[in-house]
Structure 1
Amino acid sequence: MAPILIPGKGANACSVSSAAWRAAGLPCRLDGSYPVAMDLEFSGEMWFWRGPAPWHFITVPDEECRDLETTTAAVSYGWGMIPVTARIRETRWKTSLFPKDGRYIVPVKAGVRKAEELDVGDVVTVRLTVEL
């Protein structure tokens, strides 16, 4: 699914975060405004990483990763991390996407897994909002 760009309000379509978008040299809309958010939706399989700090993740598909790459200069706070609001079914949480092997992965907290009765191997729809 292509990103949905939400316009700013009134004459001040560029919010403070949109100023970062502009400073990064990213394109504006035809009306000269800059987006304030990017919404993505995709489905993916939950997997478990057994490293020194074990965690559950869902990998963002390639197409959505390309869309996310357009935001990194404006929103990343380092190491390629992208702060997002994530949602699976009825549960919403704030997290950051991790870059891994040329893609991004969504960390899924225990509280989310419990609330939505998720386990390794489940394929779920994920909604992400990147504030720009």
Structure 2
Amino acid sequence: MELEFEGRLRLWDARRDEGWTFVDVPTEMADEILEVAEGVARGFGSVRVQVQIGSTTWRTSLFPGESTYALPIKKAVRTAEGCEAGDSVHVRIELLDVPRP
């Protein structure tokens, strides 16, 4: 399953001083992810994904929050793509380990 969306980078409130940066998956997409990832979610309900922002591609996990999934954006990606907290980015994710239709 592949999804694309625009999202705003935000600092994690609990660790703002350390610069942990995330982008939230739109809630309607989170519902789709929850449905297809049922049974393959890992620790803490995380879902393995491959992500692309700009020309940078990497693997990480989506982590469930109160109303949606949070996608961590590591410093190397932010540096390579010239973005920081508050910026809007185009995100392409591919869910890994989920059954194909």
Query: Gaps (5+ residues) in structure 1?
Result: 1-37
Query: Gaps (5+ residues) in structure 2?
Result: none
Give the corresponding residue for 1:33. Answer: none
- Partners of 1:106 and 1:126 lie apart in 2 by 10
- Between Structure 1 and Structure 2, the one with more helix by share is 2
- The structure 1 segments of at least 4 consecutive aligned residues displaced by more than 6 Å after TM superposition are none
Report the secondary structure of 2:43's partner residue: coil
Q: Which has the higher contact order (CA 8 A, sep 6+)?
A: 2
- 1:57 partnered with 2:60: no
The number of residue pairs the alignment matches comes to: 95
* 1:66/1:50 CA distance change after superposition, 3 Å: closer
- Partners of 1:49 and 1:56 lie apart in 2 by 6
Question: 1:54 Cα deviation (Å)?
Answer: 4.6
CA RMSD of aligned residues (A): 1.4
Flag the structure with larger Rg: 1
Q: How does 1:10-49 map to 2 (within 5 A)?
A: 38-49=1-12
Query: How big is each residue's C-alpha offset from its partner over 1:69-113, in whole Å with a ceiling of 9 and x where there is no partner?
Result: 112223211221000001101000100001111210100000000
Give the corresponding residue for 2:52. Answer: 87
Output the TM-score relative to the length of structure 1: 0.67
Task: Decide which of 85, 92, 99 is 2:64's aligned counterpart.
Answer: 99
Give the corresponding residue for 2:36. Answer: 71
- Partners of 2:73 and 2:46 lie apart in 1 by 15
- Partners of 2:19 and 2:87 lie apart in 1 by 18
Output the TM-score relative to the length of structure 2: 0.87
